[in-house]
Amino acid sequence: MNLVGKVMQYQMQNEVPPQYEQVRRVIDDNVRSAHLTPYQLVTRHPELGRDNARVLGDFSRAIILRHPLEFGLKTVPMLFASLTSYYPVSTLPPPPGGPQHGWTEQSVNVLLSFDRLLYSSNALFPYCALLWLGLLCWPRTRPQWSVQLMALLVLTVSFALLLTTLGGYFLSDLMRVHVVFDPLLLLIVWGTILGIPAPLLARSKPRRMKKQQEP
């Protein structure tokens, strides 16, 4: 289901071999007009759901394996978009005549605004990742355990981000999936903002000066 969802998201349904023409017409009609999810599509067309939707899986793999570069290039923008796609849970007003919670509602709104600010800072993750990977490649800072640890976190989050982006086909779903590694994203971004690299660079400078003073 995820594969056919990605094909529909990237609108690559017309790049399929001729033997899947019938499935292509159904998928193309859905992309152009119906806009159903893969699960809704199977409900409307039960023949596509036989054998655990095997025909949809074969259909999607035939497209992706024949056009891996196009699929990859269309995934890159989604990697960045998924970092900041924010879909808050809708809240309903209290029923007429029910208890009013003015101060609690204001407190929740403040927390939601703060949460949205934190989430928007995820856009800085690519720059922070480049910084820590650069420090890892720099011989003077590579031995530092903090550089190695942060680089490990960067690689872990990058893998999780790539995996969820390749598997998800709705931006509204990615925020829910990112809950698993959102704390690591915050640690990397705000740890970098608060100046973790500064002491590392400062520690490498005295070592260089000490070497220059040695006879």
> What pLDDT is stored for residue 210 in this prediction?
47
Six token digits for residue 162: 């790539």
| Residue 203: CB atoms within 10 Å | 12
Q: Whose CA is closest to 167, among 42, 9, 16?
A: 9
> What pLDDT is stored for residue 209 in this prediction?
45
Domain ranges of the chain: 2-66, 102-213
Entry field: residues in the chain: 215
- List the Cα angle 35/77/28 in 5-degree steps: 25
CA 46 to chain centre: 31
The 10s digit of each residue's pLDDT in 84-117 is 888 776 555 655 665 566 667 678 778 888 888 8
Please state the three-class secondary structure of 7-32 as a single string: HHHHCCCCCCCHHHHHHHHHHHHHHH
Q: Whose CA is closest to 187, among 114, 108, 124, 110?
A: 124
Helical axes 125-137 vs 197-213, angle rounded to 10°: 20
In the chain, the N- to C-terminal Cα span, in Å, equals: 68
Q: Are 70 and 7 in contact (CB under 8 A)?
A: no
Q: Are 67 and 12 in contact (CB under 8 A)?
A: yes
> What pLDDT is stored for residue 168 in this prediction?
85
The mean pLDDT of 136-150, rounded to a whole number, is 88
The 10s digit of each residue's pLDDT in 2-53 is 888 899 999 998 988 889 899 999 999 988 888 888 888 888 888 888 888 8
Q: Which sign, positive or negative, has the C-alpha torsion 30, 31, 35, 37?
A: positive
